[in-house]
Amino acid sequence: MISFNLKTTARNQLVEITDQVREAVAASGLKTGLCVVYCPHTTAAITVNENADPDVVHDMLLYLNKAVPKDQPGFRHGEGNSDSHIKASLVGPSVTLIVDAGDVVLGRWQGVYFCEFDGPRTRTVMVRVAG
């Protein structure tokens, strides 16, 4: 397993990590198999989405913040970040990618994103490649 840290700069932010994932796959030496990208945090997530147009990231965050507002009446979690936990659960803690010819298989416009919902923080991402 390979892990790396990243620092987020905003409370809600999507950070593209495709290059780091590709480096982890290359370092594994595996030519064919699966790659799991995992986030061990309860207020962050991992997803795959378009990386060609930054408006997609904007729109995703706009929707999630509208669907799950920070100051939703009735939230009871004492840390004041219930929305962050809910967003992380909706997006999910991991993605599984196919590895072929020593690289992850992604569509032409796809990238892997770390999703921060309770930043800014220093976070860890774990990558496991298996054949």
Domains of the chain and any CATH numbers: 2-70+79-130 (2.60.120.460)
Question: 1 is written with which tokens?
Answer: 């397993």
Write the pLDDT tens digit of every residue in 51-90.
Answer: 999 999 999 999 999 999 999 999 999 898 999 999 999 9
Rounded (10°) angle between helices 54-67 and 82-91 = 130
Q: What is the pLDDT of residue 78?
A: 85
Token duo for residue 18? 């495709």
**Summary mean pLDDT of the chain:** 97
pLDDT of residue 120: 98
Q: What is the pLDDT of residues 3-23, one digit of tens each?
A: 999 999 999 999 999 999 999
What was the pLDDT predicted at 41? 98
Distances (CA, A) of 7 to 31, 92, 122, 125: 30, 20, 4, 11
pTM over 0.85: yes
CA distances to 23, 61, 89, 92, 99 from 71, rounded to whole Å, are: 39, 16, 18, 22, 41
